[in-house]
Amino acid sequence: MLSKTIQEAINKQIKVEADSSQIYLAMASWAEVQGFEGISAFMYKQSDEERMHMLKLVKYANQRGGEAKIPNVIEPILDCSSFKALFTQLYEHEVMVSESINELVHVSLQERDYATHNFLQWYVSEQIEEEATARTILDKINLIGDDKGGLYLFDNDMKNFSGSQSGSM
């Protein structure tokens, strides 16, 4: 049975994951409108993954005798002035999600809820991968700079990137 404190913390994380899905969806839509197939495919996939992260938390809370709350979603406000700005936001968002997961892990230990602590280890590992992937993408964008040819190749590279990753980002 989940304590009230754990249930509230999980519901807070459900909101973080739902918002993450919306942010990636907005990024995907923007990239698609700009004609960047690879980047949009990557972002759509990320949006789906974040929704799956949310659903995993929803099911866990309900199965443990808690009650998952399905949150309102945000309308993402993005800086789409450049790909660097977009992917910088992505990286900063992943860092924030990691901090949120770490706080949830901390609460689970304070509450001596070792089942939840164990469950959350998947999220801890996932966030390490997601931050690393975002950092790698940002490094590639920094290498490209303002080179239009490089951006075209980057977009093509993202098609392969989104297909070769196994559950990361």
pLDDT tens by residue, 42-89: 999 999 999 999 999 999 999 999 999 999 988 999 999 888 899 999
Provide the CA 77 distance to its chain's centre, in angstroms.
Answer: 16
The answer to whether 127 is a known ligand-binding residue is yes
Residue 129, annotated ligand binder?
A: no
Query: All domains of the chain, ordered by start, with CATH?
Result: 4-164 (1.20.1260.10)
Section 19-30 average pLDDT? 97
7 annotated as a binding-site residue = no
Number of CB atoms found within 10 A of residue 169's CB = 23
pLDDT per residue over 110-128, tens digit each?
Answer: 999 999 999 999 999 999 9
The structure's pTM equals 0.91
162, two tokens: 């989104």
